[in-house]
Structure formats: C-alpha cells, structure tokens
Amino acid sequence: MKVIKLEDIIGTENEVKGENWTSRRLVLSDVGMGYSVHDTTIKAGTETHIWYQNHLESVYCIEGEGEVETLADNKIHPISENTLYALDKNDEHLLRAKTDMRMVCVFKPALTGREIHDENGVYPLVES
C-alpha cells in the first residue's frame, strides 16, 4: 500500500510547472497501478492547447471555473467545482481558466513524470 501526501510532493521533482499550470504528480508509472494521478492547478486567464494522442485522461475539478472547447466539433463545455470531464477519444481541446482551477487528473497509461507537452500539446509515450 502507498500513502502519498500532497505536502510531500510540493517542491520536489514531482511538482512540475508549465507556463499556464502546475502539476503535482502523486501516482506515476513506477507505482505499477496502470494509471497516474495528478493534482493540477490551471492559472486564471489562461488558455492551454492540449491533445493527448497517446493517453486517455479524466479530470475532476475541485476548485474554480473555466471551460473546455473540443476542437473536433468546437463545442464548449463549462467546467466548475464538482465537474468531471473525460477525454475518452484522445480529444484535442483548449482548456480555458476563468479563475484558478484545481483539478485532479487521471491518465491512462500512467505517466512517468518526465513527459513534457510538445508543440501540439501532446505527451509522448515514455517508457518507465
């Protein structure tokens, strides 16, 4: 059994910061669960282009307000506290934060923690 506290992740290599976000990687591929779990904050007033071609992702918003625009159909999905969205078709999307948003993100397959978004918003598959 694993017990992981957010406070033990903050300030370590498992707290990764991008221009629009901070991701605290709680469960990664080295734990062997087949998925990874991240506590992510999206900065207010930002728009992030994301397209996880190699991963499925479910995102549960626990704080804040924003929206997701799926680019295949240009549909806008409002996101607020206690809302989950699942990118079940490797959906290319824009994530817009009206306020700071705190999200719990689950990726399958699991991330190693070394992935970086490429120019298309994609995380490459990285072997553990």
Q: What is the CATH number that goes with domain 6-108?
A: 2.60.120.10
List the structure tokens of 102.
């705190």
What three-state secondary structure class fits 19? coil
Cis upstream peptide for 124 (omega within 30°):
no
pLDDT at 126 over 80: no
Q: Confirm if 77 and 67 have CB atoms less than 8 A apart.
A: yes
In this predicted model, what pLDDT tens digit does every residue of 42-56 receive, in sequence order?
A: 999 999 999 988 889
In this predicted model, what pLDDT tens digit does every residue of 67-94 receive, in sequence order?
A: 999 999 999 999 999 999 999 999 999 9
Model pTM? 0.89
Three state DSSP letters for 88-122: CCCCCEEEEECCCEEEEEEEECCCCCCCCCCCCCC
Give the type of residue at 65: E
pLDDT at 60 over 90: yes
Give residue 117's pLDDT: 60
Domain layout of the chain by residue ranges: 6-108
